[in-house]
Structure 1
Amino acid sequence: MNNRTSIFLAAVLLPKLCFAQTESAIETVVVTGSYAPLPVSTLTSSVAILDQSTLQALNKSNIADVLKTITGLSVEEQGGAGGLTAVSIRGGEANFTLVLVDGVPQNDPTNSRGGSYDFANLDPTSVERIEVVRGPQSAVYGSDGLAGVINVITRRGQEKHRQQLRAEWGQDDFQNLQLGASGSIGDFQYAIDMAHRDAGEQTEGSTRETDSANLRLGWQLTDSQQLQASYRYLDGKRSSYPEQSGGPEFALSDKLDKSDFKDETFALAWQLELSEHWHSTLRGDSFVHEETYTSPGIEPFFAVPPNSADTEFQRDQLQWVNTLQFGDNYQLNLGADYRHEDGESRGILDLGFIQLPTDFQLDRNTTGIFGDIHARLLPALIVQASVRYDDPSDFSSETTFKLGSKYQLNQAIALSANWGEAFKLPSFFALGHALVGNPDLKPETVRSWDIGLEWLAAPDLNMSATYFFNDYRDLVDFDSEQFINVNRSRVESNGGELHIDWQVNRTLGLQARATYTDLDVKDATTVLLGRPQWLAGVTGRWQLAADWSTALDYQWVGEQYASSLHTGESVIEELHDYHRLDWNLHFRLSPSIALDLAVDNLLDEQYQTAVGFVAVGRTARLAITASNIF
């Protein structure tokens, strides 16, 4: 069940845990990174949460900008809205980040990026909260999640009926239209969101247009049983200059990459309270991704020849979790799951005089069994341990562990420590691509640890600091001499994270953050792209009056490396550091009508996130939200 455990199960279990102790702590429940929901104050792992009030106050235009406000996360944007947007955690590859939407994995192993997820397809207006768990998570999720997990949770039904219509317009033809409704009828809860989003053309050649629908249902069958179901649909198209082409500034051709894509996600869960101390959840989910992609390649000298591909991928999962409560201080989770993945790609590489097929078709099955325990061994000591055994087809079995502890030194200071390991099966693209695939690849692995300090310096001032270390091995890389994917890289990443929350007074709140990451590629002279050594930022939220509020978000991104092929050869360039300031003003005209005026990149900073792709300058957006008007 993992993070997919429902609020129903949280409501049943959490009152029995004596870890939290205040009503507010019980309400702050994390459903990511464990097999059952837990109060955030009892977690040993390094966790970040963005709730709906924060998302609404920031009013970012896309999920990527939202994630930039989270310590330890680095966002790589490849040329405007139509380019790919990837997120790495603590210096890991972007495909080491497991991405969930309402608990269902979204990573597609048929893509050429090792399965990394394109966050540009998510719309922040339909999101209720985002949970991020840093560190390896294979002991909970199996393959993937070497660096951590990002769980995007959409809106769910509440007791009161609620309708919302939101229309947003911005410069360069940006528009976002969203219609939603939620509520409950007796023992039945519902939430539905539909949206149309057009990013316009704020960067030359870069466009993205999507239509989406999201449905979540819950039914309390009896006092001890509940059904939950969800369905998500996404259909879209995008265009951009080819990755590493030099973009609008340097590309020798104005021909664009183009892609049409579709996602469908379905999940169904049955939750049963067998006794006061035994709760069981049976869950199945399915994720389908289809994409048609064409690229003109990169000039000159056929640096990258024209190519195209039609891909289809489906992942089906079934999981059974049993949660056992022993007294007030011990919670044990035991269960098993089964995963089937099937991917197919039909494509060509056009060399002019001949078209080479790049087709592949692969499937694999993985059976897993797992257990974890969450225990208060002493009044001030919490321990969490997880173990998981995975048996994937065509690969050796893997057993992974995760161990964490948290010690409350006094009322103000808590210390934490975590150790874990994880593995990632090679992507279907890396294994099966007709030209560069290698069926003999081994899984990528990591061993990791971190130590943390939380300090409640004052009732309204909270600070946390974490040091982390990751040792990645057998990383998949392309060998240009053999023209094949190989296991060869070993990378160590270590660094620190600092986070400060300060409620200055009743109307003003400040948040400061900083991340330092040092990357060491062993036995190689290569540099890692798109991962700055330093990241920092400050966010301020000010309630000006009862109906007026404003938010400012400042970001500083240090130097980072990027590559380009626009000269005909691979060139590594260091991109300059940059500063960015975003502003939002919220005004409630009436109980049912609200306005938001946002200015992105308020200072009109000129910077690049990829060679030749100049970031969007100062842009304004206006949104009107009507709630409960029917």
Structure 2
Amino acid sequence: MSSRDVDRALKNARFTQKTQMNALNLLLVSTALTCASAASAQENKLLDEVVVTASASEVTYKNAPASISVITADDLENQGARDVRSLLESVEGLTFNRAGNQSKVQIRGLNENYTLFLIDGKRVTSAPNAFRGNDYDSGWVPLEAVERIEIVRGPMSSLYGSDAIGGVVNIITKKETEEWHGSLTNEYTLQENRKSGDYGRTGFNLSGPILKDKLFMRTYGSWDFRRKDSSTLNPDSASGRANAGFAKSDNKHVDTTVTWDVNQENSVDFNAGYSKRTHDKTTLDRYSAGITHHGSYEFGETELRVFGDRIDNSYGHGNAAGDDMPNTAYNFNGDGKVSFDADLLVPNFITVGATYQHQSLEDKYVLVGEGGSDSSLWQAAAFIEDRLEITEDFEVTLGGRLDKHEKFGWNASPRVYGVYHLTQALTFKGGWSSSFKAPTLLQMSPNWKQVSCGGDCFLEGAEDLNPELGSSFEVGFKYDEAKWSAGLTGFHNTIKDMIQFPPARTADVAVAQTYSNYVGLTADGKPIFKFENIEEARTMGIEANLTLRPTDELTVSANYTYLDAKNTSANDAPLAFQPEHTANVKLDYNFSEKLSFALSANYVGEQYTSVPANGDMAFARKVDGYITADFTGRYDVNENFTLRAGVLNIADNQILKTDWDEFNVDGRRYFISGTTRF
């Protein structure tokens, strides 16, 4: 039995009356998985894993209508990762904008503003209240609370809206348990170069019943920190224009969910959380709350969510007057969907839904410390997705979304995707979609200005920005056997009126006046730049991956991404922070059930760190490529305690930035971590 049979079992189980679901669903899904394993030892167990991000409903990994990667629970336990962001570095198609020693996730050559972060399917993007992109969005959940991470590469705008033009990262947290269980992790990383700051973290996860069979609770939290690098770390750093190393960071997070199983058909989740993230002189306080209703009925399944957050954002070296430049953003979201199956010539699995978003910003200061302005935007949408099983081997997914934006009116985003199983092992995938993305509140607000260039220039919004319109296409294949698997995908994205992010900028006053987005000077002579549209940009490339399983104990995996990202309206000038070549190689070896090791290497090719929107390469800046390698180990001392340790950047290939738009790479360092379970 193949993963297609697992999909059918899921469908059958999904639409059986809930009074029969507990026993019947378990029987159907367990039987499908057992038969699949017995019938063919040639399939990787990941193929039958159910994923939830690539479609409006659950679907097996192999049949997912998108290019998707999954970081499993085993990956989370075995890797020496500090946070979610470090786990993503080994995924093909992903690059990072590291300007100013941030680390913002980009997918397929599209900047961080095109990557949507979700936590259990709920959007958490903080971009509407910060120029700094998604640098914070990957840090809201500690590793102790993560069950797995699903990464969809390629546009998902028809399902998730405008933030998902590049792709989606869905952080799926651990669920409530029927008995009380918990874990506590402590980790510390020691830098060999004592001028670099050490870092560490503490995290916990606790789950159990409040009222047997009715009320359950899960809570998790973390504290992580990094000490500031010494100011003498890099004597070649441009004086007054670039911090020599990483700034101090201090982050705290706590989140609680209470689940009420009302009856066999209905359950309700109540969630609330608080985070405080401090990087250098920037502090974000996030307060979040939400309610989710899940329904399973004879006709199908429903989900209704209402959630929102408040983010207080303070910049300690904010404006030209030296004020903290605080602002507060409010995000409200409501969405609902219903899923059901229908036989319309061929089997159909249909999901219809609607969403509503309202964003507002309270801004107290502008550039010179005077009274600022408040602004708000709303956007509503309706969407539909239909998975059609044309034959047992061929499935087509059709999707469409109709957005109504307060400023830019109506916009449609259609999508079509096909999955064809030529054989049990060989699968072909491909699809096309269009997308719409409106400028954020801050990008459109000339009254809100942000410090940049290490404090020597400023950025501001622009009222005349146009929305971005995208078109994307991909095609590829995946081959899976017991001993090896491989995949190859080609993609092509076109974005009209792309908003350059971050805007081109420089602290050099003479050079600044040659930039097309130059606005003027502050009272103390610092350049001001605004956001602007690039007439057209194009990214295209190839993603390749290979996994070898020569023995039950050994797994070797590798991936490579070729990326060609250009501003086609400016003589094919390259887009910033988009390396042409990236590659990852990893070797995992399990000596026993208790002891395992991993050796990994990562290559990032040369990349431009700043390119003017007009494509004038005389003012472009570029950094060389680099390689890092890590060695990590894991030992289960007993059922209740796990010890992890390792050496990161074994070759001590440390990179030190020399200007504000460059970045550092830590040298050799050693980490140790202990997890206690109870």
Assess, with a 3 A threshold, how the Cα gap between structure 1 residues 26 and 621 changes in structure 2: closer, same or farther.
closer
> What is the TM-score normalised by the length of structure 2?
0.80
**Distance in 2 between residues matched to 1:570 and 1:289, nearest whole Å:** 39
SS in 2 for 1:222: coil
Give the structure 2 partner of residue 213 of structure 1: 254
Aligned counterpart, 2:562:
516
> Relative to structure 1, is the Cα distance of residues 108 and 570 closer, same or farther in structure 2, using a 3 angstrom cutoff?
farther
Paired residue for 1:285? 307
Matched, 1:346 2:364: yes
Question: CA deviation digits over 1:379-420, x for unaligned, max 9?
Answer: 110111111111111212111111100111112211111101
Measure the CA separation in 1 of the matches of 2:296 and 2:59: 17
- Residue 187 of structure 1 deviates from its aligned partner by 3.7
Structure 1 residue runs of 5 or longer lacking an equivalent are: 1-7, 240-257, 298-303, 350-354
Task: Report the Cα offset of residue 570 of structure 1.
Answer: 10
Inter-partner Cα distance in structure 1 for 2:378 and 2:99: 33
Aligned partner of 1:126 in structure 2 is 145
2:463 maps to 1:461: no
User: Aligned residue for 2:185?
Assistant: 166
Contact 1:178/1:196 (8 A) holds in 2:
yes
Q: 2-side partners of 1:61 and 1:210: how far apart?
A: 13
Q: Secondary structure at the match of 1:427?
A: coil
Partner of 1:502: 548
Deviation, structure 1 residue 205: 5.3
What does residue range 431-442 of structure 1 map to in structure 2 within 5 Å?
A: 431-434=444-447, 436-442=460-466
Alignment partners' CA distance in 2, 1:507 and 1:606: 33
Q: Deviations over 1:354-373 (max 9, x none)?
A: x2648342211222111110
Is the Cα–Cα contact under 8 Å of residues 575 and 611 in structure 2 kept in the other structure? no
Match of 1:591 in 2: 639
CA contact (8 A) 1:95 1:117 kept: no
**Structure 1, residues 18-42: CA drift from partner, whole Å, max 9, x if none?**
9998476796121113222222222
* 3-state SS of 1:144 partner: helix
Cross-structure match for 2:337:
321
Residue number among 68, 78, 82 corresponding to 1:57 in the alignment: 78
Matched, 1:530 2:571: no
Is structure 2 residue 501 aligned with structure 1 residue 480? no
Q: Which residue of 1 aligns with 2:173?
A: 154
* Structure 1 stretch displaced more, 61-70 or 112-121: 112-121
1:42 corresponds, among 63, 67, 82, to 63
Distance verdict in 2 for CA 1:272–1:110, change over 3 Å: closer
TM-score w.r.t. the length of structure 1 is 0.86
The structure-2 alpha-carbon separation of the partners of 1:607 and 1:205, relative to structure 1 and needing over 3 Å to count, comes to: closer
Distance across 2 between alignment mates of 1:620 and 1:366: 47
562, 581, 599: which one aligns with 2:609: 562
Give 1:367's match in structure 2, choosing from 356, 380, 390: 380
SS at match of 2:424: coil
After TM superposition, give the deviation of residue 265 of structure 1 in Å: 2.5
Q: Does residue 400 in structure 1 map to residue 437 in structure 2? A: no
Query: Shift of residue 295 of structure 1?
Result: 2.7
Return the offset for 1:217. Answer: 3.0
SS for the counterpart of 1:95 is helix
Which shows bigger deviation, 13-22 or 500-509? 13-22
Matched, 1:378 2:406: no
Instruction: Name the aligned partner's letter for residue 577 of structure 2.
Output: G
Give the match for residue 239 of structure 2: none
CA spacing shift, 1:608–1:160, aligned 2, 3 Å? farther
CA distance in 1, matches of 2:256, 2:670: 31
- Offset from partner CA, 1:521-552 (integer Å, 9 cap, x none): 11215432211010001112111223211112
Structure 2: segments with no counterpart, 5+ residues: 1-9, 17-24, 38-44, 191-196, 231-244, 450-459, 504-515, 520-528
Query: Which residue identity lines up with residue 599 of structure 2 in the other structure?
Result: L
Structure 1 residues 599 and 307: alpha-carbon distance in aligned structure 2, compared to 1, 3 A threshold: farther
Which one of the candidate residues 287, 307, 313 is aligned to 1:264?
Answer: 287
8 Å CA contact 2:647–2:669 kept in 1: the answer is yes
SS at match of 1:556: strand
| Residues 560 and 379 (structure 1), Cα distance of their counterparts in 2 relative to 1, 3 Å cut | same
Which of 180, 188, 191 aligns to 2:205? It is: 180
Q: Residues 540 and 232 of structure 1: is their aligned pair in 2 closer, same or farther, counting only changes over 3 Å?
A: farther
* Counterpart-to-counterpart distance in 2, 1:561 and 1:10: 51
Deviation at 1:139, TM superposition (A): 0.6
CA contact (8 A) 1:224 1:272 kept: yes
Secondary structure of 2:109 counterpart? coil
Q: Is the 8 A contact 2:117 2:138 kept in 1?
A: no
SS in 1 for 2:444: helix
Is 1:576 the counterpart of 2:624? The answer is yes
Which residue does the alignment assign to 2:510?
Answer: none
Q: Which amino acid aligns with 2:649?
A: N
- Give 1:487 shift: 2.5
Measured in 1, the distance between the counterparts of 2:354 and 2:220 equals 33
SS at match of 1:309: coil
* Amino acid across the alignment from 1:88: Q
Residues 387/110 of structure 1: CA separation in 2 closer, same or farther (3 Å cut)? closer
Question: SS at the partner of 2:297?
Answer: strand
CA distance in 1, matches of 2:610, 2:462: 25
Quick check: 1:106 aligned with 2:132?
A: no
- In the alignment, is the contact (CA less than 8 A) between 2:125 and 2:137 conserved in 1? no
Taking the aligned partners of 1:159 and 1:22, their CA distance within structure 2 comes to: 29
The SS at the match of 1:431 is: coil
Distance in 2 between the 1:527 and 1:609 partners?
21
Displacement of 1:499: 1.3
Question: Partner amino acid for 1:181?
Answer: L
| Residue 70, structure 1, aligned to residue 91, structure 2 | yes
Is the 1:192–1:216 contact (alpha carbons within 8 Å) kept by the matching residues of 2? Answer: yes
Amino acid corresponding to residue 287 of structure 1 in structure 2: D
Q: What residue is the counterpart of 1:12 in the other structure?
A: 14
* 1:451 to 2:472 alignment: no
Shift in Å, 1:10: 11
Q: Distance in 1 between matches of 2:268 and 2:119?
A: 18
Asked if 1 retains the 8 angstrom alpha-carbon contact of 2:534 and 2:567, the reply is no
The secondary structure found in structure 1 opposite 2:390 is strand
- Amino acid paired to 2:646: A
Would the aligned equivalents of 2:601 and 2:628 in 1 still touch at CA under 8 Å? Answer: yes
Distance 1:357 1:402, change over 3 A: farther
| 2:228–2:246 contact (8 Å) kept in structure 1 | yes
Matched, 1:615 2:658: no
SS at match of 2:55: coil
Aligned positions, number: 584
For the 8 Å contact 2:48–2:62, the answer to whether it is kept is no
Aligned AA (2:218): A
Q: 604-613 or 309-318: which moved more?
A: 604-613
Counting aligned pairs with the same residue, the percent is: 20
Q: Which moved more, 1:125-134 or 1:616-625?
A: 125-134
Q: Which residue, 387, 402, 406 being the options, matches 2:400?
A: 387
- SS of the residue 1:429 aligns to: coil
Partner of 2:50: 29
**RMSD between aligned residues:** 2.9
For residues 340 and 296 of structure 1, the distance between their equivalents in structure 2, rounded to whole angstroms, comes to 26
Q: Is the 8 A contact 1:224 1:273 kept in 2?
A: yes
For the structure 1 residues 45 and 159, does the alpha-carbon distance in structure 2 shift closer, same or farther, using more than 3 Å as the test? same
Give deviations 1:187-207, integer Å, cap 9, x for gaps: 433321121111223574511
SS at match of 2:92: coil
Question: What SS is found at the alignment partner of 1:65?
Answer: helix
SS of the aligned residue for 2:144 comes to helix
Contact 1:606 1:614 in 2 (8 A): yes
The verdict on how the C-alpha distance between 1:515 and 1:25 changes in structure 2, with shifts beyond 3 A counting, is closer
SS in 2 for 1:426: coil
